[in-house]
Amino acid sequence: MTIVTTAAEATAARPALRPHWVNIVGISFYHLVAALAFFPYFFSWTAVIVAAAGTFVFGTIGINVFYHRYLTHKGFQSPKWFEKWMAVMAICSFQDTPAHWVAVHRRHHEYADDEPDPHTPVRSFLWAHVGWILVHSPDMSRYEIYARYAKDVLRDPFLRSLENQRVYLGIIVAHWFVFFGAGAGWTLISGGTGAEALQFGLGLVVWGVFVRTVFNWHNTWAVNSVSHMWGYRNYETDEHSRNNVVLGLTAMGEGWHNNHHADPRSARHGHRPWEIDVTYWTIRLFGVMGLAWRITEPMISPGGGAVKTKPAQ
Ligand SMILES: [Zn+2]
Ligand SMILES: [Zn+2]
C-alpha cells in the first residue's frame, strides 16, 4: 500500500481520468440551448413565470426535498405514490438517477473535503463545481458506490426501474415535448396561428426546460463548491462547510450547508430565525397536506448542543 503524505503525491497517486463524453455533450447542449433565451423570439413573460415555477417543482421539490432531504437523509416520510411523483420531477432536473445522486451525496458526507469526496474542493473550485461530473472517476463506478451507499434505494422497484438509461433519458426527453405541446396547444386553442404556436411552444421549452435546468444545476453544484469555501459557520464541524447567504436564498435553503453537515438528518437546514429555508417550508406544507410525516427537526442549535460529524447519512 502506498502512503500518501503530500498534496503533490496525492495528485500523482490519483488514477487517470477519462472524459465522460455523454455528460460533456449533454451539459454543453443544455447551456447552448439555454443561451437562446437571449433572443427575443423565445421570450414571453409566461415563459419566464413557467421557468420560475419549474425551478420550484423540479428543483426545490425534485432535488432538494426528494433526492436530498428525503431519499439521502431520510428527514421525513411520505406516501409511496407521492414518492414516485417526486422521483419523476427529480429525473426531469437531469441530475442523474435517484440511486446515483444518493450514493454520490452519502459519499460526500462521509469524506467531505478529503480526497475520496467525489467533489472535493481540495482539488479546485472548478472540480468541486462541475469538473467531477465531466470525467469517469474509476473509484466512482456506478456499481461500486451503489453497493456501499444506495442499497436501500435500489430495493424499491420503481426507483430501481429508473436506473434503466432508456427510461431515465426517455422521461427527460418526454418532458421537453410536454412543455412544447402545452405552449403550442394553448396557442392554437386560443385561436393563434401555427407560427405563433411554434414560437410560444419553443419559448416554453427554452425557458421552462433549459434555462430552468441550467439554473438548478448551478445552484446544486454551488452547494458543493461555493458553500464549502465561502460563508460563515454556526458549527465547528470537521470539514469546511459554510452557510452562504446568497446560496441560502437562491438554492431554497440548501446554502445553509454548515448547519446541514452538523446535523445531516434534520429536514430543516435553516437553524437561525433569519436563515430562510424554502425547502423546509415546502416539507412542512406537505405535512399539512398529509403528504409528509415524522419530519425531523434539528438536534442542535447555534451556540449549544453536540455536533455530529461526517455520518454516512
Ligand atoms: Zn457538503
Ligand atoms: Zn446532505
What is the DSSP annotation of 180-191?
Answer: HHHHHHHHHHTT
Determine the distance separating the centroid of ligand 1 and the alpha carbon of 257, expressed in angstroms: 6
Q: What is the mean pLDDT of each run of 10 residues along the chain (313 residues)?
A: 48 71 96 98 97 98 98 98 98 97 96 89 94 88 88 97 96 98 97 97 98 98 96 94 97 97 97 97 98 96 64 47
Residue-wise pLDDT tens digits, 77-120: 999 999 999 999 999 999 999 999 999 999 999 999 888 899 99
Q: 283-300 burial, b for 16+ CB within 10 Å, e for fewer?
A: bbebbeeebbeebbebeb
Determine the distance separating the centroid of ligand 2 and the alpha carbon of 245, expressed in angstroms: 18
Report which of 46, 47, 40, 39 is spatially closest to residue 209, judged by C-alpha positions.
Answer: 47
Q: Is residue 307 part of a domain?
A: no
Q: Is residue 229 part of a domain?
A: yes
Determine the distance separating the centroid of ligand 2 and the alpha carbon of 290, expressed in angstroms: 24
Number of domains in the chain: 1
The residue type found at 227 is: S
Residue-wise pLDDT tens digits, 130-148: 999 999 887 787 878 998 9
Joined grid coordinates for residue 151:
442499497
Q: Is residue 241 part of a domain?
A: yes
pLDDT of residue 308: 53
The residue segments making up the domain with residue 171 are 7-12+23-288
Determine the distance separating the centroid of ligand 1 and the alpha carbon of 157, expressed in angstroms: 29
Q: Is residue 161 part of a domain?
A: yes
Q: Is residue 310 part of a domain?
A: no
pTM: 0.92
pLDDT of residue 312: 45
CA angle 146, 152, 156 (to 5 degrees): 105
Determine the distance separating the centroid of ligand 1 and the alpha carbon of 63, expressed in angstroms: 15
pLDDT of residue 15: 64
pLDDT above 90 coverage of the chain, percent: 84
Q: Is residue 63 part of a domain?
A: yes
Q: Is residue 306 part of a domain?
A: no
Q: Is residue 252 part of a domain?
A: yes
